[in-house]
Amino acid sequence: MYRMLLRKLLEAFVTLFCATLIIFALIRLAPGDPVQLLLGHPGEAALSDKQAFNDRAAGLRAQLGLDQSMIKQYTAWIHNLVQLDLGTSIHTGRAVSAEIVARLPATAMLSAAALLIQAVLGLFFGTVSALKAGKSYDNAIRLACVALASTPAFVIGLFLLSLFAVTLGAYEISSEAGLSRLWLPALTLGLIGAPQLIRMVRANMLSEFGRIYVLSALSRGLSRERVVKHALRNALLPVITMIALSLTSLISGAVVIESIFSWPGIGKYALDSILLKDYPVIQGYALVMVSLVILIHLCVDVVYALIDPRIHRKREAGAEEHV
Amino acid sequence: MKKVLFLSALIVIITLVGCSNNSNTASTGNNPAGTKDSAGAGSGPDTSDKADAADKAGNADKGDNADKGDNRELIVAGQEIAASLDPVKPLTSSYLRNIGAAEALFKVDAGGKVQPELAESAAEVDPTTWEIELRPEARFWSGKAIDADAVIASLERSKSLDLQAKPFLEELTFAKKDDYTLQVKTKRSHMQVPLNLSYYQTVIHNAEAKHDAIGTMDLTGMYKVVEFSPKQKMILALNENYWGKKPVIQRVVYEEISDEQTRVLSVLSGRSQVALNIGTTSLAQFRDSKEAKISATPAANTQTIYLNLGKPQFEDVRVRQALSWALNREELVILAAEGESIPVSTWLGSNPAFAEAKNAVYIKFDPDKAAELLDEAGWALGSEGIRYKDGKPLTLRLMTWGGDKALGEALQNQWTSVGVKAEVQHGDYSLIQTARESGDWDASIEAWSTFGDELTLLTGQYAPEGSANYGGFNDAETNQLLARLAEESDGAARNKLALQINERVAGQAPVISLFPRPQITAVSGKLHGFQDHFRQFENTVNANLTLDSK
**Domain at B301-515, CATH from 3.30.450.20, 3.30.479.30, 3.10.105.10, 3.40.605.10:** 3.10.105.10
pLDDT, position B8: 55
pLDDT, position B268: 95
The answer to whether the beta carbons of residues A168 and A160 sit under 8 Å apart is: no
Chain B interface, best mutation among A27, A89, A173, A230, by max B CB count within 10 A: A173
pLDDT, position A277: 83
Q: Using CB atoms and an 8 Å cut-off, which of residues 156-175 of chain A contact chain B? A: 158, 161-162, 165-166, 169, 171-175
Q: In this complex, do A31 and B430 lie within 8 Å of one another by their Cβ atoms?
A: yes
Residue B16 touches partner A, C-beta closer than 8 Å: yes
Q: In this complex, do B19 and A174 lie within 8 Å of one another by their Cβ atoms?
A: no
Chain A interface, best mutation among B262, B301, B534, B538, by max A CB count within 10 A: B262
Q: Using CB atoms and an 8 Å cut-off, which of residues 168-227 of chain B contact chain A? A: 168, 199, 201
Nearest to B42 by CA among B233, B234, B226, B214: B214
Residue B28 touches partner A, C-beta closer than 8 Å: no
Phi then psi for residue A272, to 5 deg, are -60, -40
Nearest to B107 by CA among B184, B204, B187: B204
Inter-chain CB pairs, A–B, below 8 Å = 204
Q: From its phi and psi, is residue B419 left (phi > 0), alpha (psi between -120 and 50) or beta?
A: left
Residue B363 touches partner A, C-beta closer than 8 Å: no
Phi then psi for residue B119, to 5 deg, are -80, 155
Residue B472 touches partner A, C-beta closer than 8 Å: no
Q: In this complex, do A264 and B457 lie within 8 Å of one another by their Cβ atoms?
A: no
Nearest to B320 by CA among B501, B471, B482: B471
Lowest mean pLDDT among A71-85, A157-171, A204-218, A245-259: A245-259
Q: Which residues of B touch A105 (CB under 8 A)?
A: 18-19, 22-23
**Percent of all residues in chain A with a pLDDT value above 90, rounded to a whole number:** 36
Q: Using CB atoms and an 8 Å cut-off, which of residues 56-85 of chain A contact chain B? A: 56
- For residues A35 and B519, the model is more confident at B519
Residue B277 touches partner A, C-beta closer than 8 Å: no
Q: Which residues of B touch A259 (CB under 8 A)?
A: 258-259
Would you say residue A214 has pLDDT above 90? no
Residue of B nearest to A101 (CA): B33
Q: Which residues of A touch B84 (CB under 8 A)?
A: 92-93
pLDDT, position A297: 83
Distance CA A281, CA A16 (A): 17
Distance CA A210, CA A231 (A): 10
The answer to whether the beta carbons of residues B39 and B50 sit under 8 Å apart is: no
pLDDT, position B68: 42
Residue B457 touches partner A, C-beta closer than 8 Å: yes
- The 3-state secondary structure of B331-373 reads HHHHHHHCCCCCCCCCHHHHCHHHHHHCCCCCCCCCHHHHHHH
Residue A229 touches partner B, C-beta closer than 8 Å: no
Distance CA B74, CA B546 (A): 9
Q: To the nearest whole number, what is the mean pLDDT of chain A? A: 85
DSSP B473: -
Distance CA A44, CA A255 (A): 31
Nearest residue, CB atoms, A178 vs list B11, B20, B167: B20
Domains in chain A, CATH or no CATH each: 100-265 (1.10.3720.10)
Distance CA A244, CA A232 (A): 17
**Percent of all residues in chain A with a pLDDT value above 70, rounded to a whole number:** 91
Residue A277 touches partner B, C-beta closer than 8 Å: yes
Residue B466 touches partner A, C-beta closer than 8 Å: yes
Q: Using CB atoms and an 8 Å cut-off, which of residues 288-327 of chain B contact chain A? A: 301
The minimum CA-CA distance between A88 and chain B, rounded to whole Å, is 13
Nearest residue, CB atoms, A32 vs list B11, B428, B468: B428
Q: Which residues of B touch A102 (CB under 8 A)?
A: 33-34, 36
pLDDT digits 0-9 by tens, B467-521: 899 999 999 999 999 999 988 878 889 899 999 999 999 999 999 999 998 889 9
Residue of A nearest to B453 (CA): A45
The minimum CA-CA distance between A224 and chain B, rounded to whole Å, is 21
Q: Using CB atoms and an 8 Å cut-off, which of residues 287-316 of chain A contact chain B? A: 303, 306-307
Residue A115 touches partner B, C-beta closer than 8 Å: yes
Q: In this complex, do A169 and B269 lie within 8 Å of one another by their Cβ atoms?
A: yes
pLDDT, position A48: 65
The minimum CA-CA distance between B529 and chain A, rounded to whole Å, is 24
DSSP B246: P
Average pLDDT over residues A20-44: 77
Q: Which residues of A touch B23 (CB under 8 A)?
A: 105-106, 109, 176-179
The angle at the Cα of B151, spanning B146 to B155, to the nearest 5 degrees, equals 150
Nearest to A185 by CA among A281, A268, A98: A268
pLDDT, position A293: 85
Domain residue extents for chain B: 301-515
Nearest residue, CB atoms, A175 vs list B4, B24, B232: B232
Q: In this complex, do B452 and A45 lie within 8 Å of one another by their Cβ atoms?
A: yes
CB-count burial class (<10 Å; 0-12, 13-18, 19+) for A126: buried
Q: From its phi and psi, is residue B379 left (phi > 0), alpha (psi between -120 and 50) or beta?
A: beta
| Helices A224-253, A212-219: inter-axial angle, 10-degree rounding | 140
pLDDT, position B83: 83
Distance CA B282, CA B300 (A): 22
Q: Using CB atoms and an 8 Å cut-off, which of residues 195-214 of chain A contact chain B? A: none
Residue B123 touches partner A, C-beta closer than 8 Å: no
Per-residue pLDDT for chain B (550 aa), expressed as one digit of tens each? 455 455 555 555 554 444 444 443 333 333 333 333 333 333 333 333 333 434 444 444 444 444 444 578 999 999 988 888 999 987 899 999 999 999 999 999 988 889 999 999 999 999 899 999 999 999 999 999 999 999 999 999 999 988 778 778 988 999 999 999 999 999 888 888 999 999 999 999 999 999 989 999 999 999 999 999 888 899 999 999 899 999 999 999 999 999 999 999 999 999 999 999 998 888 889 988 889 999 988 888 899 999 999 999 999 999 999 999 999 999 999 999 989 899 999 999 998 888 889 999 999 999 999 999 999 999 999 988 999 999 999 999 999 998 899 999 999 999 999 999 999 999 988 889 889 889 999 999 999 989 888 888 899 999 998 889 999 999 999 999 999 998 887 888 989 999 999 999 999 999 999 999 888 999 999 999 999 998 888 899 999 999 987 5
Residue of B nearest to A176 (CA): B27
The answer to whether the beta carbons of residues B201 and B105 sit under 8 Å apart is: no
Residue of A nearest to B472 (CA): A50
Nearest to A108 by CA among A17, A189, A167, A52: A189
Q: State which amino acid sits at residue B179.
A: D
Residue of A nearest to B78 (CA): A175
Residue B127, classed as helix, strand or coil, is coil
Q: Which residues of B touch A27 (CB under 8 A)?
A: none
Would you say residue A296 has pLDDT above 60? yes
pLDDT digits 0-9 by tens, B326-384: 999 999 999 999 898 999 999 999 988 888 899 999 999 999 999 999 999 999 999 88
pLDDT, position A267: 86
pLDDT, position B47: 34
Residues 6+ apart with CB under 8 A from A3: none
Neighbours of A303 (CB within 10 A): 16
Its ipTM equals 0.81
Residue of A nearest to B169 (CA): A47
| Helices A2-29, A279-307: inter-axial angle, 10-degree rounding | 160
